[in-house]
Structure 1
Amino acid sequence: MKGDALIDPKGLIHEAYRIDGITASECRSIFLDWALSLPEGQETGKALRVLLERYGEPKPDHPMTTVMRDGLASVATPQRRGGWRARPRN
């Protein structure tokens, strides 16, 4: 299933799983490109869950599976905002 228009518009994740000997570093680079290419309004967490089910479950030891799991964990964990947004207002 190359390039589902909503969750993998450029087919990057699909192709990453087809590359023999791909490294974790290369997977992180591909993942960043994938995240930046998602259509506006597409929920990243939802897309990652679908991709992990489609590609990660059959290949749990693939470096892209690890990268996507890490990405899903960071999407699910809210980050503290720093700077002036974090300061209480009087």
Structure 2
Amino acid sequence: MQTLAELDHKRLIREAYRIDGITVSQCRSIFLDWALSLPTQLDNRTAITQILEHYSDEPSDHPMTGVLQQGLEEMANPRRRGGWRSRTRD
């Protein structure tokens, strides 16, 4: 299990929870920045799960909690968005 300092080394998630009136859109932007800065040796799904556990005392309707939960759901059900194979004919 990683420490919170390792999971959120820029303290982006922590600050998102501290901002009064933060919007879902702002949380998504913060989440993307956090995900892109996560060290490659850390598993994204595990990191999100551990962060959600750490912030479990926050209100369940906080926008950042929703964005983190959505991140977990979308990782469980990835969608294909195209690529060269979708443009070729059989």
| TM-score w.r.t. length of structure 2 | 0.81
Which amino acid in structure 2 is aligned with residue 40 of structure 1? T
Q: What is the Cα deviation at residue 4 of structure 1?
A: 1.2
Q: Which one has the bigger helix percentage?
A: 2
How far the C-alpha of 1:9 sits from its partner, in A, is: 1.5
Where does residue 5 of structure 2 map in the other structure? Answer: 4
Aligned to 1:74: 74
Quote how far apart the aligned CAs of 1:77 are. 1.4
Matched letter for residue 46 of structure 2:
K
User: What TM-score do the two structures reach when normalised by structure 1?
Assistant: 0.81
1:20-55, CA deviations, whole angstroms, 9 ceiling, x for partnerless residues?
Answer: 110111000000000000001210000000111111
Gaps of 5+ in 2: none
Is 1:46 matched up with 2:46? yes
2:27 and 2:10 map into 1 onto residues whose CA distance is: 15
Over the residues paired in the alignment, what is the CA RMSD in angstroms?
Answer: 2.2
For residue 80 of structure 1, report the CA deviation from its aligned partner.
3.7
By relative contact order (CA 8 Å, sep 6+), the higher-ranking structure is: 2
Structure-1 residue corresponding to 2:61? 61
Identical aligned pairs, as a percentage? 57
User: C-alpha distance in 2, partners of 1:16/1:66?
Assistant: 12
